[in-house]
Structure 1
Amino acid sequence: MERRAFLQSLAVLALASGCPLALAAESATAAFARRLRQAPWLLGFMGLAEDQQPLAMKVQGRFPAELRGTLYRNGPALMARGNERNEHWFDGDGMVQAFRLDGAKASHQGRFVRTPKFLKEQKAGRFLLPATGTYRQAEVPMGTNDDINTANINVIPFAGKLLALWEGGSATELDPDSLATLGQRTWAPGLEHMPFSAHPIRDKDGSLFNFGAAPFAGEPAVMLYHLAPDGRLRNSKLLALPFGGYMHDFAASDRYLVLLNSSCVYQGGRTYVEGFAWQGQRPSQLLLVDKHSLELVRTLEVPASFAFHFAGAEERGGELWVTLCRYRDASMMLSGMKELLATGQSQASQATLAQFRVNLASGKVDLWDSGLDMEFPGRDWRQAQHQGWVFGAGSSGQAQSLLSDALVAYDPLRQQVHRHVYGPGIVVEEPRFIAKAGAKAGQGYLLHSFLDYRRRQSGLAVLDLANLAGGPIAMAHMDRVLPLGFHGSFVAA
């Protein structure tokens, strides 16, 4: 497939729009306020309208010396303009948060990413462009998918810059100190506006692998990238796909990049999200790509699956184990997030920690499912995954909403589940692993942000991975409500 034809087809994403939203007799703002009284956890989706200036946080305990540095986080933050609100969690403009830690001190700062979309709509004081999941007509000309880039999923340090990442377009460079937006990043001539996912994988040599999926293209395809540690492009490859399944994340073993071409297939619709349909009768595909050449070497059928996030891949004893948080269908993306914002509740299926175990000789794939509710998974990447903990945000089973209220970890050696439940009113966000100085692999801390919607506070907590039941070692909070976000990175001072 020619890159030029692929680039031209990207306009399909930008032009997937329809008629303006009609405001009901009750404005969207008033309706949300009413729902908030009934479901107070919706406070996490209320959104912000302004940058958040540096603010000292109140600290209980002391953050370990290894946590002296900055936790950067990203997520949808601008959810409303005037009386119109976004209806899907994916739609809000991104705000990068910086939590700066130093022993008994902690502070917070937040700044909107100044994408072209944000600047145009900020000047107009209203929404002008289509959204990922909210049906809205374009009121200004559009040329590429970057015209609707919200830079709202992840934030990572790479090649001396801080990158705010979306999944349908370019990375956006930020200044790590001020969080000021420096502009969109193109990795090489001819790759302008190409999809660049929010989940790159850093290899052992410091280089970066990533993909960019375009299920909406005339011929569904995925772009593969390999970037040197200094940001130069080492290799790229455009792979045609047999069908356009939704892809958000991927995994890597010593030899392979592993992508899941899910059974949530793009067929076209009023919005990007509405363009997908769950095809439960269609097997999903594991795509094995050679890391050196970026050539597709094997396609394996697996049970119909959907996943946002992976926890790694490992080659062991002639098998390839691919660990992920697997959904039995795509209802969380297709309807669940809109239901949650509309009512505070949803009947969408939940993710469980699971594993595809591939016999590399025969191609036979077995599916193992732990039954453990988990999302936003992570692990200590220095350890083989059959030996190290997999941890993430989970559930006690007692929460009033489907939002996470616990930190969970699975020990594969002992086949045990460890959990810390925060109790009513707390929503747990993605944990990040920080190794203990001088300790063995697997020994470290879990740092995560949280929302306390009853006290109308946001904060941070740090726990010892080996003693989750013991609860937080230190916590920091502030009388500032931050929107629930997606992903981030810890950068040591």
Structure 2
Amino acid sequence: MTVAPAVDRFARSEWASAFRNVEQELTDVPLTPARGTIPSDLVGTLYRNGPGRLERNGQRVHHPFDGDGMITALRFEEGALALSNRFVRTAGWQEEEAAGKVLYRGVFGSQKPGGRLANAFDLRLKNIANTGVVQLGDQLLALWEAAEPHALDPRTLETHGISLLGGVLKKGEAFSAHPRFDPGHHDRPRMVTFGVKTGPRSTIRLMEFATETDAAAGIKAGDLLCERKDSFNGFAFLHDFAITPNWAVFLQNAIAFNPLPFVLGQKGAAQCLESKPDGQAKFWLIPRESGAFAGQPPRIVDAPDGFVFHHLNAWEDDGDVVVESIYYSDFPSVGPEMDFTAVDFDLIPEGLLEQCRITLESGEVKTTRLSERCCEFAMVNPDKEGLPCRYAWMAAAAREQGNDPLQVIKKLDLSTGDRQIWSAAPHGFVSEPLMVPRPGASAEDDGWILELVWNGAREGSDLVILDAADLKEVAVIELPLAIPHGLHGSWVEAR
């Protein structure tokens, strides 16, 4: 097969033009669709998090994941839409704003000015609050998985500061940037999340929080309902996990961490990770304290080769646990001498959706490839989290095989393999799609897909609303804000 050169597949300059500083903070700016109509029954707020400052005093971050976090809120109300955005006022952001220069190293390779000598033995990490955003109780939490969350006002986006969640967390304790929301498999809806302490032996703290207030039971939204800690052999690089009614499923990638180049100022901490060619990945299945196996020890099962950032979903079937994940053949990274905007996509492994069926009694794992198209940021209907699902939505490459920037939204029928495509190509580049069920819907795909698109032609961001059933455009809104390629978001229904 002959592969077209990247220059003919997409306009690199248009893709790279998104990596810029956000220079303004807006408050409740009303928006009008350029095409289509905003559904009147789409009521709530779309929150998005991602790096908003990628350069300071002429020095650009080495990797966009090192950029300071900025929250965007798009508030829907009976057909009207308004936008607000704020940087998360972390301590490090405030220090660097006041100094007018870079003061901290970044996990993904960004260095302070002054070369290796200036960076050697400076092991401080700036909590950049740039990865996820969720509402828990009356707090909006900006998440960065290496440290505590920052609390913001859900309406004004004002930063209240570090949150220890009422004493649940200790100062400096890691708290995942990728929680999962149990829609109510047991007594009540929950936010299930974790923190991990890594080392030669790693410890996972699994936590479940109430997401709704139950006055009769004396439970408030945001209360910690249950937790447990489990330790495992080996270094744990964990960004995401999956849940079923009874299990929290983690994939320990076969990754080694050599901290010496980080200590000596040569690399960022994440650049010190590398796949172990003779290593064995493991599934760690931790019984949930709200489930049928509470109190039992974890199950540890050999996992397939490859590297996983994100899972689609997990579910149980006659005692088996089925996990659907996006697999890379190797850990993708940006080396110290590499310009991330000039990365050769043909040399980076693509993410492919695969299903692993784990038979707990025997430890056997059967793997099935679900799609050959490069994809990321896959999700199911949130009301079906942890259950068998027919449909999945994901960001994907425009071509059917090979690695490229994400330019289309794909709906995949997990039963038949049929797929539908909405394309932003050639000038548009997509991010994580969020599926919002229609109020009162009974069909799994009855709702909308909310998608932030980088419009390279006008060097700005568009909000696109798609019908989740057929991916037809419902509305396109050109935003008065240029939002860099981001990470994770969430939908909060109006209350």
Cα deviation for residue 54 of structure 1 reads: 4.2
Alignment gaps of 5+ in structure 1: 1-36
**Distance (Å, rounded) in 2 between the aligned partners of 1:459 and 1:69:** 18
CA distance in 1, matches of 2:83, 2:53: 18
**C-alpha distance in 1 between matches for 2:297 and 2:162:** 29
Aligned to 2:36: 61
* TM-score normalised by L of structure 1: 0.85
Matches within 5 A, 1:12-27: none
C-alpha separation in 1, matches of 2:312 and 2:475 = 26
Note if 1:224 corresponds to 2:224.
Answer: no
* Contact preservation (8 Å) 1:287, 1:296: no
Q: Which whole-Å CA distance do the structure 1 matches of 2:335 and 2:414 have between them?
A: 33
Determine the structure 1 residue equivalent to 2:252.
261
User: Within 5 A, what are the aligned runs for 1:49-448?
Assistant: 49-59=23-33, 60-102=35-77, 104-137=79-112, 148-187=126-165, 188=167, 191-203=170-182, 204=184, 205-215=188-198, 217=199, 219-229=201-211, 230-268=221-259, 269-270=261-262, 271-292=268-289, 293=294, 296-331=297-332, 333-335=333-335, 339-343=339-343, 345=345, 347-370=347-370, 371-383=372-384, 385-397=387-399, 402-442=404-444, 443-448=446-451
Counterpart secondary structure, 2:433: strand
Q: Which residue of 2 aligns with 1:489?
A: 490
Task: Specify the SS of the correspondent of 1:127.
Answer: coil
Secondary structure at 1:192 match in 2: coil
Q: Give CA-to-partner distance per residue, 1:215-250, whole Å, 9 cap, x none.
A: 3x4643333222234323334333323111321000
1:289-330 deviation line (CA, Å, top 9, x unaligned):
010147642100112221121111100123210011111111
What is the RMSD of the two structures over their aligned residues, measured on CA atoms?
Answer: 2.8
User: For residues 220 and 65 of structure 1, what CA distance do their matches in structure 2 show?
Assistant: 48
Which residue is 2:214 aligned to? Answer: none
User: Match for 1:449: what amino acid?
Assistant: L
Extract unaligned runs of 5+ from structure 2. Answer: 1-10, 212-220, 263-267
| Counterpart secondary structure, 2:355 | strand
For normalisation by structure 2, the TM-score amounts to: 0.85
Structure 2 counterpart of 1:214, one-letter code: K
Q: Is the 8 A contact 1:257 1:290 kept in 2?
A: yes
SS in 2 for 1:372: coil
**Higher helix proportion:** 1
Match of residue 456 from structure 1: 459
Percent of paired sites with the same residue: 25
Structure 1 residue 210 displacement after superposition: 1.1
Q: Structure 1's 401 and 186: CA in aligned 2 closer, same or farther, altered over 3 A?
A: same
Partner of 2:8: none
1:412 & 1:336 partners in 2: Cα distance?
Answer: 39
- Cα 1:179/1:489, change in 2 over 3 Å: same
Cα offset, 1:338, TM superposition: 5.5
In the superposition, relative to structure 1, how do residues 190 and 70 fare at CA in structure 2: closer, same or farther (>3 Å)?
Answer: closer
* Per-residue deviation, residues 131-164 of structure 1 (Å, max 9, x unmatched): 1112425989x9997x511000111111121111
Return closer, same or farther for 1:194/1:296 CA change in 2, 3 Å cut-off.
farther
Match of 1:48 in 2: 22
Q: 1:295 to 1:337 in 2, by over 3 A?
A: farther
Post-superposition offset of 1:76: 0.9
